[in-house]
Amino acid sequence: MVMKKRLDNGFSGFSNWTVPRGPRSLRKVHRKKDFEDGQICAIELLASLAGKLLQDGESTACSNTSDGDRSVIGTNVVKEERSSEEKAFKVECCDGGSSQSCDLDLEEKTDQKQNLNKLQYVDNNTVLDCTSVVVNSNSSDEACGDVKPVIHKTEFEDYRTKPEEGSPDFLETTNTGMNIVDEEHEPKGFGIGFQKITHSHNSKDLKKSYGKLSTMPNSSFKTKLPLSTDAIRSSFSRYRNYLKLASRDDDEKFRSNKSSIHSNSYRPPSRIAGRRIRKLLNSKHWKVAPKLKDCEVARSESIGEETRNPFRKRKLYFNSERYQDSLYKRKRFFDRSSMVNSDGGMSSESVTNSPEKSVHIDKSSLAAILHGASVSPSSGQQASFLSKDAHVKFSIRSFKVPELFIDVPENATVGSLKKIVLEAVTAILKDGLHVGVLVHGKKVRDDNRTLLQTGLTCKDNLDTVGFTLEPNLVHNTTPALCSEDPPQILACEMTELPPSSPVNPVSSSVILDLALPNHSLTYSQNQDENKHELVTTSIDKLPDNSLQDCKALVPVPEMTMEALAAVPLNPKSKRLEVVQRRTRRPFSVTEVEALVQAVEELGTGRWRDVKFRAFENADHRTYVDLKDKWKTLVHTARISPQQRRGEPVPQELLDRVLAAHAYWSQHQAKQHGGKHLQAGVVKAIEGSSS
DNA sequence: TTTAGGG
DNA sequence: CCCTAAA
Residue A580 has pLDDT above 60, yes or no: yes
Q: Which residue has the higher pLDDT, A145 or A597?
A: A597
For A45-88, what is the HEC assignment?
HHHHHHHHHHHHHHHHHHHHHHHHHHHHHCCHHHHHHHHHHHHH
Residue–nucleotide distance: A39 CA to B1 C1' (Å)? 34
pLDDT confidence band for A1 (50 / 70 / 90): very low
Name the range with the highest mean pLDDT among A308-312, A606-610, A673-677.
A606-610
3-state secondary structure of A332: helix
User: Which residue is nearest nucleotide B4, judged by alpha carbon to C1' distance?
Assistant: A605
pLDDT in the model for residue A616: 86
Please indicate whether residue A589 or residue A288 has the higher confidence score (pLDDT): A589
Cα A196 from Cα A178, distance rounded (Å): 8
- Protein A629 CA to nucleic acid B3 C1', in Å? 15
Averaged pLDDT, A171-193: 29
Is residue A467 scored above 70 in pLDDT? yes
Highest-pLDDT range among A140-149, A182-191, A317-326, A533-542: A317-326
Structure-model confidence comparison of residues A609 and A308, the more confident one? A609
Per residue in A406-464, pLDDT (tens digit) is 777 778 888 888 888 888 777 777 777 777 777 766 677 777 777 877 777 766 667 67
- Could you identify the residue whose CA is nearest to the C1' atom of nucleotide C1? A17
SS3 sequence, A81-114?
HHHHHHHHHHHHHHHCCCCHHHHHHHHHHHHHHH
Q: Is the model more confident about A642 or about A177?
A: A642
Give pLDDT, residue A56. Answer: 43
Cα separation, A326 vs A328, in Å, equals 5
Contact A165/A463 with Cβ under 8 angstroms?
A: no
Q: Which pLDDT band, with edges at 50, 70 and 90, does A473 fall under?
A: low
Q: Contact at 8 Å (CB) between A581 and A24? A: yes
The DSSP letter of residue A402 is P
> Which band of pLDDT confidence, cut at 50, 70 and 90, is reported for residue A304?
very low
pLDDT at A592 over 80: yes
pTM, two decimal places: 0.30
Using the CA of A587, give the nucleotide whose C1' is nearest: C1
Percentage with pLDDT > 70 across chain A: 22
* Run of H or E residues at A133: helix A127-141
Query: Å between A389 CA and C4 C1'?
Result: 50
C4: residue with closest CA to C1': A279
| Mean pLDDT score across all residues of chain A | 45
Q: Which residues touch strand C (CB under 7 A)?
A: A 17, 24-25, 27, 278-279, 282-283, 579, 581-582, 584-585, 587, 620-621, 624-625, 628-629, 631-632
> A444 or A401: which carries more pLDDT confidence?
A444
Choose the most confident range, by mean pLDDT, from A6-10, A231-235, A393-397, A669-673.
A393-397
CA of A605 to C1' of C7 (A): 13
Residue nearest to nucleotide B6 (CA to C1'): A14
Are A21 and A81 in contact by the 8 Å Cβ rule? The answer is: no
Domains of chain A: 2-575 (no CATH), 589-689 (1.10.246.220)
Q: Among the listed ranges A51-60, A329-338, A414-423, which one has the minimum average pLDDT value?
A: A329-338
How does residue A144 score in pLDDT terms, banded at 50, 70 and 90? very low
Instruction: Tell me the pLDDT tens digit for each residue of A355-373.
Output: 333 223 333 333 444 443 3
DSSP, collapsed to helix, strand or coil, labels residue A260 as coil
Our measurement of CA A19 to C1' C4, in angstroms, reads 21
Distance (Å, rounded) from C-alpha A146 to C-alpha A207? 33
- Reply yes or no on whether the pLDDT at A621 is more than 70: yes
CA of A3 to C1' of C4 (A): 22
Burial of A11 (0-12, 13-18, 19+ CB in 10 A): middle
Question: CA–CA separation, A578 vs A227, rounded Å?
Answer: 34
For chain C, which bases have at least one atom within 7 A of a protein Cβ?
1-4
pLDDT tens for residues A155-170?
222 223 333 333 333 3
- Nucleotide in closest CA–C1' contact with A628: C1
Closest nucleotide to A632: CA versus each C1': C1
The C-alpha atoms of residue A161 and residue A400 are separated, in whole angstroms, by: 28
The more confident residue out of A73 and A610 is A610
**Among A357, A393, A432, A452, residue whose Cα is nearest residue A143:** A393
User: What is the DSSP annotation of A196-241?
Assistant: ---SS--HHHHHHHHHHHHHHHHHHHHHH-SS-THHHHH-HHHHHH
CA distances from A347 to A72, A232, A337, A532, A536 (A): 51, 30, 16, 12, 16
What pLDDT score was predicted for residue A400? 64
What local confidence, expressed as pLDDT, does residue A430 receive? 73
Nearest to A399 by CA among A520, A481, A512: A520
* CA A536 / C1′ B5 distance in Å: 37
**CA–C1' span, A338 to C1, in Å?**
16
- Å between A609 CA and B3 C1'? 12
| Protein-proximal positions, strand B, CB < 7 A | 1-7
Q: How far apart are CA A460 and CA A442, in angstroms?
A: 16
Taking the CA of residue A674 and the C1' sugar atom of nucleotide B2, their distance in angstroms comes to 20
- Contact (CB, 8 A) for A682 and A600: yes
Amino acid, res. A189: G
- From the number of C-beta atoms within 10 Å of its C-beta (0-12, 13-18, 19+), residue A506 rates as middle
Q: At residue A489, what are phi and psi to the nearest 5 degrees?
A: -70, -40
Q: Closest residue by Cα to the C1' atom of nucleotide B1?
A: A264
**Range of weakest confidence among A177-181, A586-590, A609-613:** A177-181
Q: Are A66 and A478 in contact (CB under 8 A)?
A: yes
Which amino acid is located at A541 in the chain? Answer: K
Residues 6+ apart with CB under 8 A from A34: A97, A188, A190, A191, A251
> Per mean pLDDT, which of A46-55, A398-407, A526-535, A605-614 is the most reliable?
A605-614
Tell me the pLDDT tens digit for each residue of A202-256: 333 333 333 333 333 333 332 333 333 333 233 333 333 332 333 333 333 333 3
More confident residue, A395 or A86: A395
- What protein residues sit with their CB closer than 7 Å to strand B? A 13-14, 16-17, 263-264, 267, 269, 271-272, 604-609, 623-624, 627-628, 631, 669
Nucleotide nearest to A18 (CA to C1'): C1
For residues A514 and A135, the answer to whether their CB atoms sit within 8 Å is no
- Minimum-distance nucleotide, CA of A625 to C1': C1
Cα dist from A592 to A235, A306, A481, A614, A643, whole Å: 19, 55, 52, 10, 18
Comparison of pLDDT for A680 and A237, the residue scoring more: A680
Q: Give the distance, in angstroms, between residue A45 CA and nucleotide B7 C1'.
A: 44
Q: How far is the CA of A346 from the C1' of B4 (A)?
A: 33
For residue A468, which phi and psi values (nearest 5 degrees)? Answer: -130, 150
pLDDT at A623: 92
Q: Checking DSSP bridges between strand A442-444 and strand A396-399, what pairing results, if any? A: unpaired
